Amino acid sequence: MTGHVHRDDFGSRLGMWLFLVTEMVLFGGLFIGYSYMRYRYPAEFHHGGGELNATLGIINTLVLLTSSLTVVLAIVAIQRAEKKRAMAFLGTTLALGLTFLVIKGFEWGAKFHHGIYPNSHHLATMPPGEQVFFGLYFTMTGLHGVHVIVGLGLLSVMLWWVATDRVRQDRYVHLENSGLYWHLVDVIWIFLLPLFYLAA
C-alpha cells in the first residue's frame, strides 16, 4: 500500500525533534533523581565527585564536541556535493565516537579495579550517599554510553548511504536527522560532566 509518493523533509525533521524531546525527558527522569539525591546527600556527592578523574572527563568532552563539529561539516560537504569529503568527515566522527567509548571504558575499568561497581562489597562499606552517587554515575553514564553506541550505528549507516548515493546533495534529511541525534548525545554529556566530574 505504498501508493503515496510523498516527501516532506520539514516533517521528517519535526518528527526527529519530537523524538529528541522524548530522549531529553528520558534523561530528565534521571536528572530529577540526581537533584533529589544530591539535595539529600550534598557532602557525599561532593566527595564522590572527587574520586572521578576530571581530566579524562574533560578530554572526553572535547572529543565529543569535536565529533559534533565534524558531523556538521559532513552535512555541509553533502550540501556542496563533495561526497569524498563528507565521507571523510563522517569517518572522523565515528573515530572520535569510538575514542570517547574507549576512554570511558578505561574509566569504568579503573573504578571496577578499585572495587567500585554496583552491588560490590567495597561499595557497601561506603556511606549511603556515596553508594547512591556511584549508582547514579554508572546508570547515567551507562545510558549515555548506550546512546553513543546507537549514534555510532546510525552514523555508520549514513556513511554507507553516502557511499552508495542514497544520501546526496538533493536528499540528505536522514543525514541531518542522524546529526541531530548525535548532537543530543553531545548535549546530554555536557550536563553529565559538571554533575559528576566537577561536583567536587
Q: Cα 41 to chain center, whole Å?
A: 27
Q: Exposed e or buried b for every residue in 26-49, given b needs 16+ CB within 10 A? A: ebeebbeebeebbeebeebbebbb
Nearer to other proteins, 16 or 87 (CB): 16
Q: Cα 104 to chain center, whole Å?
A: 11
Rounded CA-CA distance 190/30 in Å is 15
Instruction: Dig out the grid coordinates for 112 from the structure.
Output: 571496577
Nearer to other proteins, 3 or 170 (CB): 3
Segment holding 87, helix H or strand E: helix 83-113
Q: Identify the bridge partners of residue 171 per DSSP, sorted by sequence position.
A: 168
CB 76 → other proteins: shortest distance, Å?
Answer: 26
Nearer to other proteins, 98 or 143 (CB): 143
Rounded CA-CA distance 152/147 in Å is 8
Kindly give the residue spans of alpha helices, DSSP state H, lying in 114-172.
Answer: 121-125, 128-163
CB 124 → other proteins: shortest distance, Å?
Answer: 8
Nearer to other proteins, 86 or 167 (CB): 167
Contact residues for other proteins, defined by CB under 8 A: 1-4, 6, 8, 10-11, 14-15, 18-19, 21-23, 25-30, 32-33, 36-37, 40-41, 44, 118-119, 124, 127-132, 135-136, 138-139, 143
CA distances from residue 93 to 69, 86, 128 in whole angstroms, order as listed: 8, 11, 39
CB 37 → other proteins: shortest distance, Å?
Answer: 8
CB 101 → other proteins: shortest distance, Å?
Answer: 20
Nearer to other proteins, 80 or 115 (CB): 115
CB 137 → other proteins: shortest distance, Å?
Answer: 10
**How many CB atoms are closer than 10 A to CB 65?**
13
CB 191 → other proteins: shortest distance, Å?
Answer: 15
Nearer to other proteins, 120 or 169 (CB): 120
